[in-house]
Amino acid sequence: MPKTIRELADELKVSKQTIQYHYQRLPTKNRQKDSQGTNMISLTAERIIREKVAKPLVANTQQTGSKKVTKTSKENNELIATLRREIEDLKSQRDKQLATKDRQIDHLTKLVDQQQQLQLATVADNRRLKDHVQKLSGQLTQKTNDNLSTGNDLFNIQDKKSKIAKQKIVKSGSNKNGIHTNRAIKRWWKFW
Backbone dihedral angles phi then psi of residue 117, each to the nearest 5 degrees: -65, -40
The per-residue pLDDT for range 101-114, each reduced to its tens digit, is 999 999 999 999 99
Model pLDDT, residue 171? 39
Beta strand pairing call for 39-41 and 169-174: unpaired
Rg, Å, the chain Cα set:
62
Model pLDDT, residue 93? 93
Q: In the chain, which residue ranges form alpha helices assigned H by DSSP?
A: 5-12, 16-24, 43-70, 73-167
**pTM of the predicted model as reported, rounded to 2 decimal places:** 0.33
CA-CA distances (angstroms) from residue 29 to 8, 16, 52, 53, 62?
19, 21, 18, 20, 34
Collect all residues with Cβ–Cβ distance below 8 Å to 16 and sequence separation of at least 6.
5, 6, 9
| Residues in the chain, pLDDT under 50 | 69, 169-175
Model pLDDT, residue 120? 94
